[in-house]
Amino acid sequence: MKDGFEATRVVIAALDALGIPYMVVGGLSSMAYGIPRSTKDADIVIAVDPKSLDQLVESLGTDFELDAQGSFETVTGTMRHHLRVPAIHFEIELFLLSKDSHDLCRFERRRPFPSQQLGMNAVIPSPEDVIVMKLRWYAIAKRGKDFDDIRDVIAVQGDETLDWDYIHRWTAEHGTRELLDEIRASIPPID
């Protein structure tokens, strides 16, 4: 395996082969709607039971190692599993689809998208859901890359193409509306 994009392609192909519903989130979904940047991992939400997770890991072979213990992700209240590719020092975080109302909604709204980084179609959230989720992460972790991703997605997609009623509904529910307004105000006009 030469890089993380190839590792992610292999995992997506395995998910497709096993019929496991998924969506690529995090930096890769932000890059699809915003500006490409480097990333040291991939994040994938999967709708899977423990038996199917075992089948996925088995189908991937010895290039991949799954941590025996999952961990709790605090933003959506879900379990996540770390799938490592030791040969290239890359990690894919597998987030189990949670019962969080926005997590369920964004999963229903996911769509196939031709990813230049992955060199294939990948299922990703809508641009609105990328913004909403990145706002949730930024509000908790204050990671600069989340702030930049939000700005980039809004700037590249443009006000006219985004469903602002949808975004405002979720940011009001999550308490991130003020943060959204602040980020939008920081985007210079594009001529």
Q: What is the pLDDT of residue 191?
A: 60
Is 84:65 a contact under the CB 8 Å cutoff?
yes
Paired sense of beta strands 41-46 and 90-96, if any: parallel
Q: What is the pLDDT of residue 69?
A: 79
Strand blocks (E) in 17-119: 22-25, 41-46, 65-66, 71-73, 78-85, 90-96, 111-115
Domains and CATH numbers, the chain: 4-185 (3.30.460.40)
Q: What is the pLDDT of residue 120?
A: 83
Q: What is the pLDDT of residue 1?
A: 85
User: pLDDT by residue for the chain (191 residues), tens digit each?
Assistant: 889 999 999 999 999 999 999 999 999 999 999 998 888 899 999 999 877 888 999 999 999 999 877 888 877 778 899 999 999 999 999 999 999 999 999 999 999 998 877 788 899 999 999 999 999 999 988 888 999 999 999 999 998 999 999 999 999 999 999 999 999 999 987 66
In 3D space, the residue among 33, 44, 43, 89 whose CA is nearest the CA of residue 65 turns out to be 89
Contacts of 26 by beta carbon, 8 Å cutoff, 6+ apart: 39, 41, 42, 43, 93
In 3D space, the residue among 55, 42, 48, 110 whose CA is nearest the CA of residue 79 turns out to be 48
- 116 pairs with which residues across the strands? none
Q: What is the pLDDT of residue 124?
A: 96
Quote the Cα angle for 124-125-129, to 5°.
155
